[in-house]
Amino acid sequence: MAPPSKRRSGYSRRAQYSTFFGYIAGVAGVLVGAAFLLVSFLEPGAFSWARNAAATAAEPAGGASARGRSAGKSVIDVVEGYILAGSENARLRRELAESRTRLVEAEAAHEENERLKALLGLARRDPAPVALTRLTSSSASSSRRFATLGAGSADGVEAGMPVTSPLGLIGRVLEAGPSTSRVLLVTDTESLVPVRRSGDGVPAFAQGRGDGTIQIRLINLGINPLKKGDVFVTSGSGGLYRPGTVMAVATEVTSDGAIARVLSDPAATEFVAVEDVWGPVPQPGPPPSEEEDQDGE
């Protein structure tokens, strides 16, 4: 059926005018959008206040949905657990036997490490995280990879702080609002993290590709030493990210590096930790103080 057209306004002046001004307003909408984009282009942080206010307004619903997500995930896990119980049991037994010997080796290495550190006079302890919270929402339908965090400047979160899960690095805080903050995930194309290979320390940069994987770019060009299965950890060069945080595992070797999969899938993470901005300590001595190296990027 052809719907009645609103365009045929007939002889009524009033109807003609309202149609006309409707179109004027529609075109004005296009122009206003272009103007907003121009402002965003000239000054990227110009609308962060609006986004923060919006995120704060939606925070209760976001928190509830985060709890719902984790509940839904655990239901799936339970069902999956029943189906895979037998084969998983056998696999776990095998792995347990293997890891017992590994554990003894690791304990020995740990003791030696402690002894050597004591010799050097290095008292490096990991500081407590700034905040432990949930990721409440994300930009699931955009090409950019942002997430919203349920903690803000009231909890001590500041722009530039790294966000980690028990499985590895997730991203860093981009804008901190009063009770929420925006996180740039490591899979975003604008995210660049200095990393090294965990075995021998081959330095590289990890840049997001926008599709959930990461491009590892070697700093030393030449023969590509990377192999499938290499694990990359943050190197801490340039500050910001604490060295030694696990980040990604290489899945495909390319000509100038590798394509890697992020180890800490934010979708599978319930709680994340916001850590203090890490500043490199030039000489062994006191741990980094709170005031220095807060300038973020």
Binding site for other proteins (CB under 8 A): 2-3, 5-7, 22-23, 25-30, 32-41, 44, 47, 50-51, 54-55, 58, 61-62, 65-66, 69, 135-148, 185, 187-190, 209-212, 262, 265-267, 269
Toward other proteins, which CB reaches closer, 17 or 122? 17
Alpha helices in the chain (DSSP H): 13-42, 48-57, 59-120
Q: How far is the CB of 273 from other proteins (least distance, A)?
A: 15
Q: Angle at CA 144, nearest 5°, toward 138 and 145?
A: 45
The residue among 9 and 153 lying less far from other proteins, judged by its C-beta, is: 9
Q: In a 10 Å sphere around its CB, with 0-12 CB exposed, 13-18 middle and 19+ buried, how is residue 97 labelled?
A: exposed
Neighbours of 255 (CB within 10 A): 7
In the complex, least distance from residue 30 CB atom to other proteins, rounded to whole angstroms: 4
What are 254's two structure tokens?
Answer: 């390319």
| CA-wise closest residue to 197 among 212, 218, 176 | 218
Residue 255 or residue 283: which is nearer to other proteins going by CB?
A: 255
**CB contact at 8 A, 161 and 154:** no
Q: Which of 182, 142, 186, 147 is nearest to 45 (CA)?
A: 182
Nearer to other proteins, 265 or 293 (CB): 265
Give, to the nearest 10 degrees, the angle between helix 59-120 and helix 48-57.
110
Choice between 44 and 244, CB closer to other proteins: 44
Least CB distance to other proteins at residue 101 (A): 35
Nearest distance in Å: CB 282, other proteins:
33
Q: Which is nearer to other proteins, 115 or 209 (CB)?
A: 209
Q: Smallest gap, in angstroms, from Cβ of residue 222 to other proteins?
A: 25
Q: Shortest Cβ distance from residue 177 to other proteins (Å)?
A: 12
> Shortest Cβ distance from residue 166 to other proteins (Å)?
15
168-176, strands of its sheet edge to edge:
131-133, 272-274, 162-165, 168-176, 181-185, 146-149, 135-138
Eight-class DSSP state of 265: -
Decide whether 43 or 107 has the Cβ nearer to other proteins. Answer: 43
